[in-house]
Each structure stands twice: as C-alpha cells, then as structure tokens.
Amino acid sequence: MDNEAQMILDDTISFCQRDEQDARLINMLEQSRAVSLTDEALTIEAPSRFAYSYLMKQRPIIERYLEEIAFCELTLHITVTAAAGAHAGRTVSRETSDSEAPARETTSQAAAAPNMAPMHGMPTAPVAPSAHEADERVEVRNIITPGDLQKIMAGMGGTPVEKHEAPQAAPAPERDEDAYPSVPINSKFTFENFVYGDENKHAYQSAVRFAALAEEPGTCTSLFIYGNSGLGKTHLLLAIKNYLNENKPYIRVKYANSQAYIDDFINEVAIQKTEGRAILRDYHDADILIIDDIQNIIGKTASIEYFFRLMDEFIRDNKKVVIASDRAPKKLGMDERLTSRFNAGMLCLVSVPGFEMKYAILKRYYENTVLPSAEAEEALEGEDSLLGSIRSGSGTLTDEQLRYMAHVSGTNIRELESFCERCAGESYEREQAGGELAGEDIDRIANEYFDTKHKKIHIDTVQSVVEEFYHVSHEDLIGPKRLKNIAFARHVAVYLANDMCEMTTPMVGAEFGGRDHSTVLNSIKVIEKKIKEDRTIAEDLQQLRNKITLVS
C-alpha cells in the first residue's frame, strides 16, 4: 500500500468528519484501502460491491476534499476487493475514471480460461466480454433472508420480535462440527424476552439489525452499547450471540466479558512462553467478536494494548465487533482511530428506565417468570421432592401494586426482577394469613434493595439543579420568557419534575408560574421527541437525574 495514498485517504476521512458528512460515507471510506497515488489520481479499494456503488455516488464530494487536501485536482479511482466478488461466487474488479466507459463487471471463471489475461497482479478476467455473456453470468441474490427481514421490520415497529424458524430457501454452508460447536441457548437472553421503551429502543433495534445482517459484508460492522450497570446491555449482547448460535451456527462468534478476556490473555501469555504458540487464537479466528464491560480492561496496560491491536485487526479485515461499556467511546481513552470508528458505527445509549418502563419490566417478569415458577412448585407439593417439602408460592400482584412497585423502585433491572420475586413471596404469605400485600410491605422490601427508594424529591431541587446545569435564573425558568435556551431548560425541568416528584401535572404546572395541565403535557412531549432525535439529550437527562437524587 502506498503510504502517501493512505495519508490522503485518512485526511479525506478527517475532513468528512469535520464537516459532519453522512456516517455511511465515513464508514465506507474507513473500510476502504488506499491502493496508489499519482499526480492525477487516488485509487482506493472498496470492501464490497455495495460500498463501491455508494462511493461512486459520493465521488464528487470526495474529489472536492481531495482537491482541498492536495491543492490540485485529483481523480478518484475505485476498485472492488476480490473478496467482495468471491462472496457472491465470483471475483469482481471495478475501476472508474472520467475518461473510462461506465464501470464493467468482470468475472473469473475456469470455463473462460482461454479468454483470460493477467493484469498488474489483479485476478484474471475476460478481456472484452459481450453484453450477452455478461447478462448470462450475472446472478443477483438476496442476502437478507425473509425471516431476518421480518425480524428487522418487527423491531423497527416497536413490537416484540417474533421467533422464526431458520430459512430453508438458502441452505447454510456445510460446517465442521468441531470448528463450529453447538452452543446451548440461554432462553432468558433473547430478543423476545427483552423489554424495551424509549430509553433503550435504539439499542434494541440496532442489536436486532446487527444480528440480522451479520452475514452482510461492510454493513453494521460495529455496535457499541453504553450506559450504567444493570440496564440490559449484557442481555442484548447475549441475545445477539444466542440468535446467531441458533440461526446461523456457521458464523463463529466469540463472546467474553472483560474479566474473561483478561484471564484468557494472562493465561495464554504464560502458555506462549512455554509452548511458543499464538495467543487468543479463538478471538482472532472469530467472525464476530463480542466483548462486555470493556471499561474494566482500561488501565490494564498489556491487555488493553493487545485489545487495541485485536480491534484494529478486526476492522482491517472487515470483521464485526460488538462492545458494551458503562461510558461512551470518547470517554474510554482508546486510540483515536478506534474511537472514530466506533462513533461512525452503531453507537447506542441505554438510559435509566423511567416509570413506564419499570412497570413494563415488573409486569412482564411477574407474568412470564414468577407465576409459571409458582405453578411448577405447586405441582410438586406433596410429592417426595425437595421443593415439595416446603410451603412456598407466589401471591397475587395487582396492577395497582405493580405500578406502586415501579414508583418506589430503583433502576437496576436485575434488582427489579429480584424485587418482584420478593414482593410476590410476601404477597403469598399475607394471603395465607388471610390478608393482602400492603404499601408498607412494598416500601419495606424496596428499602432493602434500592438506595434511592422513597427518597422524596422536591420540585425546588429539580428546578435548582436544572437552573445550574443550563445557566438560567429561577425567575426566567418559571417566568414567561420564551427565549430558546430558557424555554428548553423549562421543558426539561417540567419533564423531570413530572417524572421524579410525587405530584400531579396540575401541581407541577402551578410550580412553574401557574401553568396549566396541558402546558405540562406539552413540555413532556417536547422532551420525549428530543430524546428520540438527539442521544445527547438522554445523556444530559441522566446526569440531571443523578445529581437531583444525590442532593435530595
């Protein structure tokens, strides 16, 4: 590879990022390889036919940047990697310039050997195929299966993804059972079992898209999910792994959390010293690498340097990566190239669940897990078994009780599930004594689980924290001014007050200059819309919630 050519390509990518060009353009350029640079042209190699077509459409934009960087006119020539052609059962070579005819697609076939001629180290190709011959050999196939497409569409519509049998129309490649061992499916960690709402819908949809397009080269090459602990990041990573194990077992998937990765690294470095073999071979051999809690690797000098090299290898080889962390890539102190590439991929924040989402999680867990488990235990009562020897069960949790539980609980999803089981067990004991679960019982159990439980949030605390964060005065926040920055801060304060304070909407409105119920609802809608449009808004809201809880 020409070093000067790569420098020009890297600068072009930087200029695209500077001007906030389409993320797809940046992603495609990052996956391309600089081939050569002359006084008149830059030649790059696209990773796939799809990338080639897209880059050709964006060619005028790229050439403008080339002129700005090189201080002279440069023509962009684009070729397609031979591996991209082989993916569809043929070898493709494309190169275009202003003086050339429209791009031609050439195929290397053993049957056409007499017409072949080697050209500059490129795969041999027919010298001048006729239009009829080209039509005869071009085969267009859908790479996304109907089942995968239906899953994507279901996920995009905000409904639970339906389970489909593996498609039969396109048989999977034959596989060596030792090379691709069958992995038992953990039924809990599936897309179907994931409860999602506005706080995590983008991460859920991105994970579904990543899994469905796992075989599509150059598409969805990286997925980075970040957010606080206990919000469902691990569930989504395992859902991807389990989906691929079940539906596409010929794809080699390596999953490890940060501690497993560090342990593997340390153990295999020791083995390398005695046996001299390459380390972490199963990581390098994987088609898709999934690493959970990457933040725990940061600071471990040797292991993080090797991890960066591993990530760089996957990116260079157009293999796919899924990462989960408690913070965004820019806050991890990673190599700038990796940070840039993760930012250009699918970057998803998982926010703290609000009341509605907590209620949905508690309701689904109660109906789908707690009640079936109780029924199974009841069937063993009186039998000669360990469970049959104890008196246990799950009492009724009404919708009103579930909503109250959502109101007083914290935000860690794992703790929510355990909290639900405890409340159901307490309800059973109350029912056996002829009573029912009371609010005081729920409060007592919640106090054992959640530090923030029943910490009463006053609206003046919400207002003061928002005022400090957005640098507005209290008079402006509750007053009539409609300047953009003041109005937005007011919308945020109303939204948080309605979510965190034990107040009705008319009561919230009264604390903001006597505004009415409809005005409060409008502020809530404004912020909900902003959250969907701008991920940084969700991050700011989380910071505000944390500070409000801390100072209350």
- Residue 241 pLDDT > 90: yes
- Residue 304 pLDDT > 60: yes
Please report whether residue 117 resides in a domain. Answer: no
| 423 and 539 housed in the same domain | no
Report, as an integer, the average pLDDT of 498-507: 86
Which of 504, 497, 483 shows the shortest CA–CA distance to 527? Answer: 497
| 34 and 49 housed in the same domain | yes
| 441 and 475 housed in the same domain | no
Of the residues 327, 349, 371, the one at which a domain ends: 349
| 196 and 283 housed in the same domain | yes
| Phi, then psi, of 399 in degrees rounded to 5 | -60, -40
Burial class (CB in 10 A: 0-12, 13-18, 19+), 372: exposed
Report, as an integer, the average pLDDT of 292-302: 76
Q: Are 281 and 252 in contact (CB under 8 A)?
A: no
Through-space distance between the first and last CA atoms of the chain, rounded to whole angstroms: 59
Of the residues 421, 449, 477, the one at which a domain ends: 449
For 365, the token pair is 């867990």
Under the banding of pLDDT at 50, 70 and 90, the label for residue 419 is very high
Listed range (137-151, 224-238, 456-470) with the worst mean pLDDT: 137-151
- Pairing relationship of beta strands 41-46 and 75-80 according to DSSP bridges: parallel
Domain extent for 243: 149-167+180-349
- Separation CA 541–CA 519 (nearest Å): 20
Please report whether residue 124 resides in a domain. Answer: no
- Separation CA 94–CA 74 (nearest Å): 18
Which of 236, 129, 224, 249 shows the shortest CA–CA distance to 192? Answer: 236
- Residue 156 pLDDT > 90: no
Please report whether residue 134 resides in a domain. Answer: no
Q: Assign 119 to helix, strand or coil.
A: strand
| 89 and 223 housed in the same domain | no
- Separation CA 53–CA 515 (nearest Å): 54
Please report whether residue 264 resides in a domain. Answer: yes
- Residue 519 pLDDT > 80: yes
Please report whether residue 143 resides in a domain. Answer: no
Under the banding of pLDDT at 50, 70 and 90, the label for residue 512 is very high
- Paired with 1 in beta bridges are none
Domain count, the chain: 4
| 393 and 427 housed in the same domain | yes
Torsion over CA of 443, 447, 452 and 453, rounded to 10 degrees?
Answer: 0
Report, as an integer, the average pLDDT of 70-94: 63
Under the banding of pLDDT at 50, 70 and 90, the label for residue 552 is low
Span 452-500, pLDDT tens digits: 445 678 899 999 999 999 999 999 999 999 899 999 999 999 999 998 8
| 217 and 328 housed in the same domain | yes
Q: Are 358 and 411 in contact (CB under 8 A)?
A: yes
Torsion over CA of 443, 444, 446 and 449, rounded to 10 degrees?
Answer: 160
Query: DSSP letters along 338-377, please?
Result: HHHHHHHSEEEE-PPP-HHHHHHHHHHHIIIIIHHHHHHH
| 308 and 161 housed in the same domain | yes
Listed range (104-108, 252-256, 527-531) with the worst mean pLDDT: 104-108
Report, as an integer, the average pLDDT of 22-31: 86
Buried residues in 257-290 as b, exposed as e (16+ CB within 10 A): bbeebbebbeebeeeeeeeeeebbeebeebbbbb
Gyration radius (Cα) of the chain, Å: 28
Query: DSSP letters along 439-459, please?
Result: HHHHHHHHHHH-TTTT-PPPH
Q: What is the value of pTM for the model shown?
A: 0.52
Q: What is the number of helices (H) and of strands (E) in the chain?
A: 24, 10
Of the residues 414, 449, 484, the one at which a domain ends: 449
Q: What CATH number should be reported for the domain holding residue 23?
A: 3.30.300.180
Q: What is the pLDDT of residue 185?
A: 45
Q: What is the pLDDT of residue 262?
A: 81
Under the banding of pLDDT at 50, 70 and 90, the label for residue 172 is very low
| 316 and 335 housed in the same domain | yes
| Phi, then psi, of 45 in degrees rounded to 5 | -115, 115
Listed range (73-82, 162-171, 377-386, 421-430) with the worst mean pLDDT: 162-171
Q: What is the pLDDT of residue 388?
A: 52
Please report whether residue 139 resides in a domain. Answer: no
Report, as an integer, the average pLDDT of 258-280: 73
- Separation CA 185–CA 189 (nearest Å): 8
